[in-house]
């Protein structure tokens, strides 16, 4: 019984310390959002602006996932499922490149054919 009470006490203590962490992360997320908008007002060069905005968004996303969603200390099954998802996500992001990299129906061939047809 005493062991159970001690466990409950330590559990409550760990939750209280987690709450401090949640509030700190919440405050950091507010600050990062303000920084993102401020950086946008400076009118940086487009590649730099994209890099800065996505870096800050990535940092914020990592904070939400690791602290609020407890991903920093999850079971390996969850990591496994998410790793599989990440692979799928990367494929989805780069899949459209296939449509650019293929050589089907390039405009130059069409142009040549049209010019030849007009010449006849």
Partner 1 sequence: MNIPYIVEERPDSGLTNGKLGIWLFLASEVMLFGALFSTYIILRVGSVEWPHGELNVWLGMINTFILIGSSVTMVMSWASLKLHDFTKHRWYLIATFVLSGLFLVNKYFEYADHFARGEGPSHSTFLAIYFTLTGLHGLHIIGGMVVMAYFIGPGAALWRKTPEQFTNRIEYTGLYWHFVDLVWIFLFPVLYLL
Q: How far is the CB of 69 from partner 1 (least distance, A)?
A: 5
Q: How far is the CB of 119 from partner 1 (least distance, A)?
A: 30
Burial of 43 (0-12, 13-18, 19+ CB in 10 A): exposed
Cα distances (Å, whole numbers) of residue 11 to 67, 71, 106: 17, 19, 65
Of 79, 84, 51, 50, the closest CA to residue 65 belongs to 79
Site mask for partner 1 (CB under 8 A), range 15-34, x = bound: xx-xx--xx--x--xx--xx
Of 25, 59, 52, the closest CA to residue 36 belongs to 52
Contact between residue 96 and residue 76 where contact means Cβ atoms under 8 Å apart: no
**For residues 93 and 115, which CB has a smaller minimum distance to partner 1 in the complex?**
93
Interface with partner 1 by CB under 8 A: which range of 67-75, 103-111, 112-120? 67-75
Does position 82 bind partner 1 by CB under 8 A? yes
**For residues 95 and 119, which CB has a smaller minimum distance to partner 1 in the complex?**
95
Q: What backbone torsions phi and psi does residue 113 show, to the nearest 5 degrees? A: -60, -40
Contact between residue 64 and residue 29 where contact means Cβ atoms under 8 Å apart: yes
Residues at the site binding partner 1, with contacts judged by CB under 8 A: 11-12, 15-16, 18-19, 22-23, 26, 29-30, 33-34, 36-37, 40, 49-50, 53-54, 56-57, 60-61, 64-65, 68-69, 75, 77-78, 81-82, 84-85, 88-89, 92-93, 95-96, 99
């Amino acid at each position: 019984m005493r062991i159970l009470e001690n466990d409950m006490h330590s559990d409550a203590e760990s939750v209280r310390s987690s709450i401090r962490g949640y509030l700190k992360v919440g405050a950091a997320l507010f600050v990062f959002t303000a920084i993102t908008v401020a950086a946008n007002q400076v009118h940086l060069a487009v590649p730099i602006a994209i890099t800065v905005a996505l870096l800050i968004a990535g940092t914020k996303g990592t904070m939400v996932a690791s602290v609020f969603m407890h991903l920093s200390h999850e079971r390996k099954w969850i990591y496994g499922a998410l790793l599989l998802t990440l692979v799928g996500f990367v494929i989805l992001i780069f899949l459209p490149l296939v449509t650019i990299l293929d050589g089907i129906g390039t405009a130059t061939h069409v142009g040549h054919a049209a010019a030849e047809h007009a010449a006849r």
